[in-house]
Amino acid sequence: MGKKLRETTPLSEELIAQESPFISKKKSKHKHKLQEEQNEANQKRKLEDSTDVNKNDKKKKKKNEKHKTAKNSQTHEAKFEETELRGNGKVSETHEEKREVNGKNEAQDGVDKIMVTGKDANLDKYAALKSFAESKLPKEVLDCCKNFKSPSPIQAHAWPFLLDGRDFIGIAKTGSGKTLAFGVPAIMHVFGKRKGNLEKRTIPICLVLSPTRELADQISDVLCDAGTQCGVKSVCLYGGTSKKPQISTLRSGVDIVIGTPGRLKDLIEMKECHLMDVSFVV
């Protein structure tokens, strides 16, 4: 037994000696692979970082380009405005002053810009009125405006067109004087058609349609007050009340009819309201 053990021991040592170089080679290969993987990962990170940097650079360039284009457009617009305002090589100082004053008034008073469009709207005869005297209307017609220093914006722009017989669409806030904006031209239209002889009135010449009875009543109050001073008669027709007083007023002769569609239809069908001579409609 002792001999056998002696004989076997050197063989086992030889096997271990033979196997050890293979194990070291495997370990070195594994280390080499790990290093390669780490190198690849580092290269990928570097590429990603460089792409991110390029993207950020592109974004910054785009922002700078947009900023430059916006500045160029603003300078171009400013130059274009200057060329428009130039007369014989010089900018008109009065025009610049007017623009500055308008800007201050809008900032202080909160008045919106007024846009007027239409055929020949830029003619001098359609320029906005600065005072009641510029309208050259009779004193009895302007008596309804005696409590005001000057025409409101809607009146100043509407009167030149309506007094010239033009169609007009006006948009203004509540309480801005819209009723007199069309009411005064309506009264002047009655004067023109009646030729000063208001006693011969039989059927109305002007018609004002209102969507509600409340608004019709408000318009009637203003127009009746304005017409009283110059002899122009108005009537207000709306439902919810007796027809008899309205019919009697129509039979006595009126110049202006203010009414809601429902009551107007009823009185037309009853042949009490005749609109064949109406030539001014609101």
Give pLDDT, residue 86.
39
Whether 71 maps to a domain, the answer reads yes
Whether 118 maps to a domain, the answer reads no
Tell me the three-class secondary structure of 69-96, residue by residue. Answer: HHHHHHHHHHHHHHHHHEECCEECHHHH
Percent of the chain at pLDDT > 70 equals 63
- Say whether both 99 and 132 belong to one domain: no
- Say whether both 56 and 174 belong to one domain: no
- Say whether both 196 and 264 belong to one domain: yes
- Say whether both 132 and 88 belong to one domain: no
- Say whether both 93 and 216 belong to one domain: no
Whether 1 maps to a domain, the answer reads no
- Say whether both 94 and 147 belong to one domain: no
Q: Are 176 and 151 in contact (CB under 8 A)?
A: no
- Say whether both 138 and 87 belong to one domain: no
Give pLDDT, residue 196.
62
Other C-beta atoms closer than 10 Å to the C-beta of 11 total: 9
Residue whose C-alpha is closest to residue 223's, from 153, 282, 163, 164? 282
φ, ψ for residue 206, nearest 5 deg = -115, 140
Give pLDDT, residue 268.
95
Whether 212 maps to a domain, the answer reads yes
Whether 10 maps to a domain, the answer reads no
Whether 157 maps to a domain, the answer reads yes
| Confidence at 166, pLDDT banded by 50, 70, 90 | very high
Can you give the CATH number for the domain in which 179 is found? 3.40.50.300
Other C-beta atoms closer than 10 Å to the C-beta of 76 total: 10
Average pLDDT, the chain: 76
| Confidence at 230, pLDDT banded by 50, 70, 90 | confident
Q: Looking at 81, 113, 145, which one is the last position of a domain? A: 113
Whether 220 maps to a domain, the answer reads yes
Give pLDDT, residue 104.
35
Instruction: Kindly report, residue by residue over 59-80, the tens digit of the pLDDT.
Output: 666 666 666 655 555 544 444 4
| Confidence at 193, pLDDT banded by 50, 70, 90 | confident
How far apart CA 280 and CA 282 sit, in angstroms, is 7
Could you tell me the residue range of the domain that residue 97 belongs to? 15-113
- Say whether both 85 and 148 belong to one domain: no
Tally of domains in the chain: 2
- Say whether both 97 and 135 belong to one domain: no
Whether 7 maps to a domain, the answer reads no
Residue 29 has pLDDT above 90, yes or no: no
Burial class (CB in 10 A: 0-12, 13-18, 19+), 4: exposed
- Say whether both 93 and 232 belong to one domain: no
Residue 110 has pLDDT above 90, yes or no: no
Helices and strands (H, E) in the chain, number of each type: 8, 6
Residue 121 has pLDDT above 60, yes or no: yes
Give pLDDT, residue 34.
74
| Confidence at 97, pLDDT banded by 50, 70, 90 | very low
Give pLDDT, residue 200.
67
Helix pair 178-194, 153-163: axis angle to 10 deg: 20
- Say whether both 84 and 108 belong to one domain: yes
Q: Report the pLDDT averaged over residues 10-30.
A: 53
Half-sphere exposure of 248 (CA within 13 A, CB side): 3
- Say whether both 77 and 153 belong to one domain: no
Q: Write the CB contacts of 227 (distance below 8 Å, at least 6 apart in sequence).
A: 187, 233, 234, 255, 256
Q: Enter the pTM of the model.
A: 0.59
Q: Looking at 69, 87, 113, which one is the last position of a domain? A: 113
